[in-house]
Amino acid sequence: MRKMILTTTATIALGALSANAQEVRVYNWSDYIDEDLLDKFEEETGLDLVYDVFDSNEVLETKMLAGGSGYDVVVPSGTFLQRQISAGAFQKLDKSKLPNLDNMWDVVEQRTAQYDPDNAYSINYMWGTTGLGVNVGKVTELLGEDAPIDSWELVFDPENMEKLGDCGVHFLDAPAEMIPAALKYIGEDPDSHDPEVIAKAEEIYAPIRPHIQKFHSSEYINALANGDICVAVGWSGDILQARDRADEADNGVEIAYNAPKEGAQMWFDQMAIPVDAPNPDGAHTFLNFIMDAQNMAAASNYVYYANGNKASQDYLIDDVIGDPAIYPSQEAMDNLFTTTPYPIKVQRVVTRLWTKIKSGT
Amino acid sequence: MRRLILIFVPYLWLLALFLVPFLIVLKISLSDTALAIPPYTPTLDLGAGWQGVKDFLSQLDLENFQFLTTDDLYWKAYLSSLQIAVIATLLTLLVGYPIAYGMANAPDHWRPTLMLLVILPFWTSFLIRVYSWMGILSGEGYLNQFLMWTGLISEPLTILNTPVAVYIGIVYTYLPFMILPIYAALERMDASLLEAAEDLGCSRLQAFWLITIPLSKNGIIAGCFLVFIPTIGEFVIPSLLGGSQTLMIGKVLWEEFFNNRDWPVASAVAVILLLILIIPIILFQRNEQKQREAEG
């Protein structure tokens, strides 16, 4: 009997160590895929799919840098991807296993090459902007019909925030996006790595801080949709999802998304394969599946984010391809900015500043 | 031989689950950050033999601990965590003691049921229970709806994302850890002592104060430790229920680890936190032992 227990335990332990070869483990952002696609993948390939989610780049990055995450496909954003590539966290893609690469959109590939030269380690999954989600009814009630809902003034001008505060304003808990936004508002280079320039963001946040209810990177979807808050500084597709949830609930809440006219940050979420992925073959199969034009279109149609897949555009619904909040016009695209990763010393300055802004200490 | 094994087992447990992890954290706290996997240097290279170990040791230094003294964020966070933990522990005691007292004085056949009710919440995930508090405390939540329905308030109260919500969350979560040791102490108490006190002219309140409280002292102390220690490093409750103005060391540690990717500084913060917790406990136990020796 005792021997049996021992062997059983040993088998379980071994099983946990060497993940099943027929299994693909994907770690993606929360609320970021049409879940029917997951079933479709299993049916088409016969592989088992384990799909986990996260809501911050920092959590993903810590898993990557600790090593042995056990995931086969992960989805960091541009600057985080770039840093993790230099840390040696990813393996180069075997492009011979990815015939659907032909579907990708050169316009996006050029931009992502800034983070991942030649796109050697990653493919674009989705991209979007960081901007303003507004409860139109409540905001116009408080600020009048000409409320600046398409300008950073809405949240960075203390006068507006005083009126909006009680109604609820959420900011992303993502310093790498919220500090560039504040710098853009005062006309500084949003991608500045100069601690003195970065410090100017504090002066912007200090007067509006008392009127910010929460810094959080996923709660605002529900809070906006339920009408709990008036304004959220958040990611384009998340706010559009909030808009749709409010429409479905038919609760009288009308949500609008705008990339501020002063300039908004453009970001790219990239799928990559960890260097120690247990099943790299399965990971390539998954990437190729995602790059299929119809599959990618299904994902975008579901989450309301633009993707880097040219061929998928034929299958996108009008609500997505025709919405300038998702696929901006060329002119609007020129107004978007991107950022590069902070060096470690500057990163510490940024995090410290962010803590100071949030907690007042 | 048997005795040796008996003594050996708890020490082995301490060694494997406390000392070894602590040494790993201590070691990381003495190293430097690096852009690599894992994100610090030096890492111990056993392949290089004794020379490797020597090189490794020579690269360790106290730089990260010095860094902690240069920014007032850290000691403010330690102090604020201490304050929250002390207040929360006292609140838990205030709520928990009457419950334990009631349980100990309940009829015998009720006690197993009452005990079950105290333990029952553990059968649901802690995270889900904290999330449900968000539903109760939010602006449109059940509590506000109920209070507005009764007419006590006309505008919803802002409780979620404030320190009040953090205290509610902590008291709720750790209440069983306070109740159980106090209940254990009270249940063992000899009821005839109270009768004797009343016969000798004590009022019921005096008897409670002079007899029940001192006899349940060990339960109170155990309960307070069980609440205080995890509360001081608490991360989940303040991050879900608290606003960003609630400064706690657990949150600072998270930011060092996740936002700054600075494992060495994060480890230094953790080492200091451990010292803050362990030193008072050791002093306390020493004091207890001295007292016991003096008495016995």
Q: pLDDT tens-digit profile of B256-268? A: 888 888 899 999 9
Query: B146 Cβ partners below 8 Å, 6+ apart?
Result: none
Give me the pLDDT at residue A1, please: 40
The pLDDT score that the predictor gives to residue B42 is: 82
pLDDT tens for A70-93 read: 999 999 999 999 999 999 999 999
In contact, A346 and A201? CB cutoff 8 Å:
no
B241 contacts B160 by C-beta, under 8 angstroms:
yes
Closest to A64 in 3D by CA, of B33, B260, B255, B38: B38
CA–CA dist B133, B160 (Å, integer): 9
Nearest residue to B19 via CA among B226, B276, B278, B224: B278
Higher pLDDT, A151 or B43: A151
Which residue type occupies A11? T
Of A239, A234, A230, the closest CA to residue A168 belongs to A230
Which positions ≥6 away from A186 have C-beta within 8 Å? A200, A204
Tens of pLDDT along B189-206?
888 898 898 899 888 899
CATH code of the domain in which B244 resides: 1.10.3720.10
Name which of A225, A222, A218 is nearest A250 in CA terms: A225
3-state class (DSSP) for residue B152: coil
Distance from CA of B108 to the nearest CA of A (A): 40
Give the model's pLDDT for residue B21: 92
Which residue(s) pair with A29 in the sheet?
A54
Residues of B in contact with A63 (CB under 8 A): none
Q: Which among B37, B138, B247 has CB closest to A88? A: B37
CA dihedral A342, A344, A348, A349 (to 10 degrees): -50
**Beta-carbon separation of B245 and A66 below 8 A:** no
Residues of B within 8 A of A59 (CB-CB) are 258
| Residue carrying the six token digits 């020579």 | B58
**Backbone dihedral angles phi then psi of residue B40, each to the nearest 5 degrees:** -150, 160
Cα separation of B96 and B89, whole Å?
10
CB contacts of B139 in chain A (<8 Å) are 168, 228
pLDDT digits (tens, 9 = 90+) for B87-132: 999 999 999 999 999 999 999 999 999 999 999 998 999 999 999 9
pLDDT given for residue B107 in this prediction: 92
Contact A183, A192 (CB under 8 A): yes
How confident is the model at residue B41, as a pLDDT? 84
Which pLDDT score, from 0 to 100, does residue B227 have? Answer: 95
B37 and A66 within 8 Å at the Cβ level: the answer is: yes
- Domains in chain B, number: 1
In a domain, B62, yes or no: no
Does residue B280 belong to any structural domain of this protein? no
CA distance A341 to A346: 10
Contact at CB, A355 and B252, closer than 8 angstroms: yes
Residue B176 counted as domain residue: yes
- Describe chain B by its helix, strand, coil percentages, rounded to 5: 80, 0, 20
CB-CB contact of A45 with A292 (8 Å): no
Q: Return mean pLDDT, chain B.
A: 89
CA A287 to chain CA centroid, Å, is: 18
| pLDDT at residue A309, rounded to an integer | 96
Over residues A159-214, the pLDDT tens digits come to 999 999 989 999 999 999 999 999 999 999 999 999 999 999 999 999 999 999 88
* Residue (of A322, A272, A245, A319) closest to A72 by Cα position: A272
* Tokens 């062997």 found at: A7
Is residue B278 assigned to a domain?
Answer: no
Q: What are phi and psi of B35, to 5 degrees?
A: -90, 85
Q: What tokens appear for A126 in the block? A: 């989705």
| Chain A residues in contact with B255 (beta carbon < 8 A) | 351, 355
SS3 of residue B90 by DSSP: helix
Pairing of strands A214-215, A23-29: unpaired
Whether A21 shows a pLDDT value over 90: the answer reads: no
Residue A245: Cβ within 10 Å count = 17
Task: State both tokens at A41.
Answer: 């993948």
Model confidence at A13: pLDDT above 70: no
User: By C-alpha distance, which of B253, B287, B255, B247 is closest to B269?
Assistant: B253
| Closest residue on chain A to B141 (Cα) | A228
Q: Which residue has the tokens 């969350």?
A: B169
How many interface pairs between A and B have CB atoms less than 8 angstroms apart? 75
Decide if pLDDT at A2 tops 90: no
Give how far Cα B149 sits from Cα of B142, B154, B212, Å.
10, 9, 41
Cα dihedral A171, A176, A178, A179 in deg (nearest 10): 150
Q: How far apart are CA A225 and CA A319, in angstroms?
A: 18
Cα A231 from Cα A166, distance rounded (Å): 11
Specify if B95 maps to a domain. Answer: yes
ipTM: 0.75
What share of residues in chain A are helix, strand, coil (percent, to 5)?
50, 15, 30
Within a domain: residue B109? yes
Query: What is residue A91's predicted lDDT score, i.e. its pLDDT?
Result: 97
For residues B188 and B109, give the distance between their C-alpha atoms in angstroms, rounded to a whole number. Answer: 16
List A234's β-bridge partners, or say none.
A131
Which of A56, A65, A171, A222 is most worth mutating to test chain B (most B CB atoms within 10 A of its CB)? A65
The confidence score (pLDDT) of residue B33 equals 85
Give yes or no for residue A20 having a pLDDT over 60. no
Residue B222 domain boundaries: 72-261
First to last CA, chain B: 30
The span from the CA of A119 to the CA of A255, in Å, is 36
**What is the tens place of the pLDDT at every residue in B64-98?**
999 899 888 999 999 999 999 999 999 999 999 99
Separation of alpha carbons B90 and B229, rounded Å: 13
Give the DSSP H or E segment for B279. Answer: helix B263-295
Nearest CB among A66, A83, A214 relative to B38 is that of A66
Which domains, from first to last, does chain A contain?
21-128+267-334 (3.40.190.10), 130-266+339-359 (3.40.190.10)
Reply yes or no on whether the pLDDT at A15 is more than 60.
no
| Contact list, B160 vs chain A (CB under 8 Å) | none
pLDDT computed for residue A114 by the predictor: 92
Question: Is residue B239 situated within a structural domain?
Answer: yes
Residue A18 pLDDT > 60, yes or no?
A: no
The answer to whether B232 touches B82, Cβ cutoff 8 Å, is yes
Strands A231-235 and A169-171: parallel
User: Would you list the DSSP string of A104-127?
Assistant: B-HHHHHHHTTTSGGG-SEEEEEE
**pLDDT tens-digit map of A226-273:** 898 999 999 998 999 999 999 999 988 999 999 999 999 999 999 999
Rounded to a whole number of angstroms, the distance from the CA of B120 to the nearest CA of chain A is 29
Residue B25 in domain:
no
